[in-house]
Chains A and B, each alone.
Chain A
């Protein structure tokens, strides 16, 4: 009886997971969330030049800052909220990091990316995740 219960739970869970499996979405190009996605993709690919191209010109961060930033391998970024105000925008994401080992050690953090429209393109201002301390160490 209990074996049946465990089997039912396992099968129902797996079916649900497979049916609702979430692949990374391709957001509309030219939107703030597309700029954030492009920036995070570049950071995870260790393509610092591409990442810096997504930063606003007045950002204190440069290629060396991105080179120094540490990002784990097992990472998932979900979109929480997007607020657009004329030439500025705010994109909230949830970053889940950690491995799915024998004992999962996941951690979740919320990050907000602030963007500004620059020459018709959305660019990230300030020192966005995972940088935090651009320029201070130089």
Chain B
């Protein structure tokens, strides 16, 4: 008893000490020119707050669980109770103290609530509490419905972590600017989407098992609890997705992060899951119909089929939904985001086609060196898998690649886009690496077989996989080299547009700028540089530099090598940035700008 009181006093003293230190730090004047110290203080303060939150919640959940399971066969062990008591006694007072100080800081300085460490704390605390709460809540609901044994520790955990999540949800709602919370909204959406689809897939898989008569015989012991547990997961995770996606992320700014989420985790992941599952299902069915299945027992052979079809369905739903969301953005012109989607999905389809064609080449080499293999069960099965990959991946590649090709034929924007060039370079790089690797491996194995005095047929058969990879990589590389060459040719034929805007940066006086503007028929600004002495370059050289650059908008400056013309674009800003620079001096078309 006395020991416990002493322990409490020690903990209270430590908590008071930490709170006092933080309070002194928060009351101290921030010396001018040392914002780093301010940021470091915020980092440690919010990191400590996060750790204390986790420690306190784990401790409180453990204590509550021990209370709920008292007297049952699932009572908590002494070690677990000791840990929970320690975590709660140490963590909770510190958490309340630091939380109170944080609240005062936010009241004194509104900028504190907008700081990145605070937003990061809110995001991590919300996500951690959401994940643990979702897991415990699912187990609790499934237990209450009789789908699994009800563990009261899960009940305690659900209560405590749901409370922690609700508190941080309220704190997030109080943030004046919701923009910095977009990563949290997207992460919460991903969490809800992933577990929701897993739940839906589990339910669908169990349903298909019944429709196909694959659910097995009479149940001797137990229930079909997993399938209905999937329904519980679907409902709970679906609610998370609705909260974080439909009511938050979907309505947030559609910037790079937002598009990356929709494209990579919605469209691309959905397509990959769909293609993979559809390929597996189709190949399995074809092998059963025309190939050589590994068993004649249909129940065993088609046992995994419901799960495969369920995966294909949820993948397709994900793909279709996120495609619809992207279409709702409604750009008239083809944007870089659309290019990214098309080339990404084109790459997915091309990957399936490459795998299929490689397998076919391997099968052809095998058939050529050993005709007895033709018509064999294994050869037929492999051929079925290859054809399935081609049939599934080919149309996807064609659909999305043709979009890019049509856009490339329609105008120069597609030819010059970073995404298209990256796609081509990456493919050429990958095929080059694959070609070199296949050549090396093939040569190594071939020489090894020759030195072992193996027959020609056996030697060639041993390098069938390098031959398959080499043939496919060569074909892909040749096609895309041709596309790249055609792109370069078309880019070269694009006529240079006459300059419309020129900024002479420390290289001309007012009279020269006026003359250059008249000769080029362009808007010309002349700005003074303070880091170099004023200098007026000859008018002819300035005009030649602008024309050699060939861009509609150009900045001309002088460096050690002479005049240097840089092509620029004044239209790559978003609305807020355009507003910010609208206070710059108005251009004077063909007239002298502010004198140097």
A76–B225 contact, CB under 8 A? yes
A6 at interface, CB cutoff 8 A: yes
A76–B221 contact, CB under 8 A? yes
Query: B225: which A residues are within 8 A, CB to CB?
Result: 74, 76, 100
List which B188-221 residues lie within 8 A (CB) of chain A. Answer: 195, 198, 200, 202-204, 206-207, 210-211, 215-221
Give A107 Cβ to nearest chain B Cβ, in Å: 11
Query: B206: which A residues are within 8 A, CB to CB?
Result: 13, 17
B233–A74 contact, CB under 8 A? no
Partner of B219, one of A5, A13, A25: A25
Give A59 Cβ to nearest chain B Cβ, in Å: 20
Give B294 Cβ to nearest chain A Cβ, in Å: 15
B135 at interface, CB cutoff 8 A: yes
Query: B128: which A residues are within 8 A, CB to CB?
Result: none
Mostly, the A contact residues are: mixed
A50 at interface, CB cutoff 8 A: no
Mostly, the B contact residues are: helix
**Cα A79 to Cα B320 with chains together (Å):** 40
Chain B residue nearest in CB terms to A3? B321
**Cα A76 to Cα B220 with chains together (Å):** 8
B221–A37 contact, CB under 8 A? yes
Query: A86: which B residues are within 8 A, CB to CB?
Result: none
How many residues on chain B are close to A (CB under 8 Å)? Answer: 44
Chain B residue nearest in CB terms to A13? B207
How many residues on chain A are close to B (CB under 8 Å)? Answer: 43
List which A103-138 residues lie within 8 A (CB) of chain B. Answer: 103-104, 106
B396 at interface, CB cutoff 8 A: no
B313 at interface, CB cutoff 8 A: yes
Give B303 Cβ to nearest chain A Cβ, in Å: 8
Contact sample, A vs B, 27 pairs, CB 8 Å cutoff? A6-B317, A10-B200, A13-B203, A13-B204, A13-B207, A17-B224, A21-B224, A22-B219, A22-B223, A23-B223, A24-B223, A25-B219, A25-B220, A74-B225, A77-B219, A78-B218, A93-B220, A94-B217, A96-B226, A99-B226, A99-B229, A100-B142, A100-B232, A101-B139, A103-B195, A104-B198, A104-B202
Given contacts A2-B324, A73-B149, 4 further A-B contacts (CB under 8 A): A10-B234, A16-B207, A17-B227, A77-B219
Q: What is B's interface to A at a CB cutoff of 8 Å?
A: 134-135, 138-139, 142, 147-149, 195, 198, 200, 202-204, 206-207, 210-211, 215-234, 237, 313, 317, 320-321, 324
